[in-house]
C-alpha cells in the first residue's frame, strides 16, 4: 500500500476513534446519557419470564410518563435472557461499542452490494470508516445508542442474509431476527422481488420455528402475546407522537386523531405501494441495494409504529444515493442533502420540544406537516428513482462500476 494510502487510512481510523470516544464520553458524562431504557427492557423484561410475568412487566424508572412494556415476541425474551446475568454498566458499554462495530459492517456490506469485491479494498474500507464515524451522529443511530436499541444488529443480519448465496442462511437469518422483532419480516418481499423463492419460503419456516420454540418453552406467556398482543400498536406507544415517523403517525398528526388502519391509511398505503413498485421497476436488474432500500423504506412507512431509531435504513439509502447509479445528478444531490440535514439535525427531536405530551396528536398544521418529514423524504426518493432514468440521456448503467449479478456473489465472504 502506498504511503499516501496508508496515511489516509490512519486518518480515517483516527476519525472513527475520536467519534467513538466522544460518543462514549457523551454517554458517561452527561445526565441520563447511559439510561439505555430499551436495553433495560430487554434485560429486565426477559428476566420477568422466569416468574411468568413477561407481558406484565414495565420499566418506568427513567420513563415515568410512559412505563415501557416488553413488546417483543416471546422468542426475543429467550434470546435476551442471558444478558440478565451481566453487570448492566458493563453490558451498556459493550452494547454501544458493538452497535458501532455493527454499523461499520452494515456500511461495508452496503458498499459491497454496490461495487462488488472492490469494497474490500483499502479505498472503500476507508470510505466505510468515515461513514461510520459520521453515521454515529445521525438521528436513527444516535437514538439507537441513546436507548440501547437492537436496530443496527437487525439491519446487519438482514444485510448478511441479502449478501449470502446460501438460501438456508439467508432465509434462516431473516426468519430468526423476525422472531426477535417483527419488522425485519418485510425482507421476505425483497426475496420475492429478487426471485429468491427458497429464501422467502425458508424465512417463513424459520419464523414459524421461533413461534413453536417459544410456545413450547414459555407456554401461556407465548400464547398471551400471539392471541391478544400481536399487532397491538397502542401497547407499543403513542401513535401520534412525532417520534413515530410511520405513515399512520404522519396521517394521524395531520388529521388530529389516530387514523388507525381505516380507509385513509389504506389509500395512502396503496399509493406508497404503487410508487415503491414503480421505483423498483426503474432499477437495473443487478441493483440489490436499491431493491433492498425500497423494500425496507416501504416497511417503515406501513408499520403502525416506526420510531426514529427504527430508521437505520436511512444510512444504506444515503450510500445508494451517493455511490449508486444516480450518483452525481443534481436531483440526487438535492435529495441526499435534504436527507442529510434531516437526519443530522434530528427534525423529529426538534419538533418534540413543541409537543406538550407524547400522547398529544392534535398540533398546529405547520408542525404536523414538518412531522411528516421522513414520509415525505421516502416519497421523494421513490419519485426520483422513477423520474431520473427517464430524465436526460445519460446512461445510468455507467454511473458506477456496480457488481453485475442478479444473484449473490458466491465469492463474497459470508
pLDDT in tens, the chain (414 residues): 677 777 888 899 999 999 999 999 998 888 877 889 999 999 999 999 998 889 989 898 887 777 889 999 999 999 999 999 999 999 999 999 999 999 999 999 999 999 999 988 889 999 999 999 999 999 999 999 999 999 999 999 999 999 999 999 999 999 999 999 999 999 999 999 999 999 999 999 999 999 999 999 999 999 989 888 776 666 777 888 899 999 999 999 999 889 999 999 999 999 999 999 999 999 998 999 999 999 999 999 999 999 999 999 999 999 999 999 999 899 999 999 999 999 999 999 898 888 777 777 777 888 889 999 999 999 999 999 999 988 864 444 434 444 434 445 444 433
Tell me the whole-structure pTM to 2 decimals: 0.92
Residue-level pLDDT at 398: 38
Query: According to DSSP H, which parts of 225-262 are helical?
Result: 233-236, 247-255
Match 463474497 to its residue by C-alpha cell: 412
Distance of CA 380 to the CA centre of its chain: 19
Kind and range of the H or E run holding 373 = helix 373-387
Contact yes or no for 118/7 (Cβ under 8 A): no
> How far apart (Å, rounded) are the C-alpha atoms in residues 126 and 48?
44
Match 439509502 to its residue by C-alpha cell: 317
Residue-level pLDDT at 397: 43
**Rounded to 5°, angle at Cα 302 from 273 and 275:** 20
End-to-end Cα separation, the chain, in angstroms: 25
C-alpha cell at 304: 403502525
> How far apart (Å, rounded) are the C-alpha atoms in residues 270 and 188?
19
Residue-level pLDDT at 406: 42
Residue-level pLDDT at 411: 40
Residue-level pLDDT at 323: 96
- Nearest by Cα to 210 from 237, 181, 189: 181
> How far apart (Å, rounded) are the C-alpha atoms in residues 409 and 202?
20
**Angle of helix 88-115 versus helix 122-135 axis, rounded to 10:** 130
> How far apart (Å, rounded) are the C-alpha atoms in residues 320 and 117?
16
> How far apart (Å, rounded) are the C-alpha atoms in residues 187 and 167?
14
Amino acid at each position: 500500500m502506498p504511503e499516501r494510502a496508508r496515511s489516509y487510512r490512519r486518518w480515517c481510523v483516527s476519525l472513527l476513534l475520536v467519534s467513538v470516544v466522544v460518543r462514549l464520553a457523551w454517554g458517561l458524562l452527561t445526565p441520563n446519557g447511559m439510561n439505555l431504557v430499551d436495553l433495560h427492557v430487554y434485560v429486565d423484561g426477559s428476566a420477568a419470564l422466569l416468574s411468568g410475568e413477561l407481558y406484565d412487566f414495565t420499566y418506568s424508572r427513567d420513563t415515568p410518563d410512559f412505563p415501557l412494556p416488553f413488546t417483543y415476541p416471546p422468542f426475543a425474551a429467550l434470546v435476551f435472557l442471558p444478558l440478565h446475568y451481566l453487570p448492566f454498566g458493563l453490558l451498556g458499554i459493550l452494547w454501544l461499542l458493538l452497535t458501532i462495530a455493527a454499523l461499520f459492517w452494515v456500511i461495508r456490506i452496503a458498499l459491497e452490494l454496490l461495487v462488488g469485491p472492490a469494497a474490500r479494498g483499502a479505498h472503500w474500507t476507508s470510505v466505510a470508516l468515515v461513514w461510520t464515524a459520521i453515521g454515529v451522529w445521525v438521528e436513527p443511530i444516535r437514538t439507537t445508542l441513546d436507548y440501547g436499541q437492537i436496530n443496527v444488529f437487525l439491519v446487519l443480519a438482514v444485510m448478511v442474509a441479502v449478501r449470502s448465496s446460501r438460501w438456508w442462511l439467508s432465509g434462516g437469518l431473516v426468519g430468526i431476527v423476525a422472531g426477535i422483532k417483527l419488522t425485519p419480516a418485510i425482507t421476505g418481499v425483497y426475496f420475492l422481488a429478487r426471485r429468491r423463492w427458497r429464501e422467502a419460503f425458508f424465512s417463513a419456516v424459520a419464523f414459524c420455528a421461533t413461534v413453536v420454540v417459544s410456545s413450547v418453552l414459555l407456554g401461556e406467556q407465548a400464547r398471551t402475546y400471539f392471541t391478544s398482543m400481536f399487532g397491538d400498536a397502542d401497547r407499543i406507544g403513542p401513535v401520534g407522537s412525532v417520534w413515530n415517523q410511520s405513515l399512520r403517525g404522519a396521517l394521524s398528526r395531520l388529521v388530529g386523531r389516530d387514523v388507525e388502519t381505516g380507509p385513509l391509511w389504506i389509500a395512502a398505503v396503496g399509493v406508497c405501494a404503487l410508487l415503491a413498485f414503480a421505483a423498483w421497476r426503474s432499477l437495473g436488474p443487478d441493483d440489490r441495494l436499491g431493491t433492498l432500500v425500497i423494500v425496507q423504506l416501504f416497511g417503515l412507512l406501513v408499520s403502525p409504529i416506526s420510531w426514529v431509531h427504527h430508521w437505520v435504513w436511512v444510512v444504506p439509502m444515503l450510500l445508494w444515493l451517493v455511490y449508486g447509479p444516480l450518483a452525481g445528478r443534481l436531483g440526487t444531490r438535492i435529495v441526499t442533502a435534504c436527507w442529510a440535514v434531516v437526519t443530522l439535525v434530528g427534525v423529529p427531536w426538534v419538533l418534540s420540544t413543541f409537543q406538550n405530551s407524547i400522547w398529544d396528536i392534535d398540533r398546529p398544521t405547520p408542525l404536523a406537516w414538518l412531522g411528516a418529514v421522513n414520509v415525505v423524504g421516502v416519497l421523494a426518493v421513490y419519485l426520483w428513482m422513477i423520474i431520473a432514468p427517464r430524465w436526460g440521456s445519460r446512461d445510468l448503467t455507467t454511473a458506477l462500476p456496480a457488481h453485475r449479478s442478479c444473484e449473490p456473489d458466491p465469492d463474497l465472504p459470508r
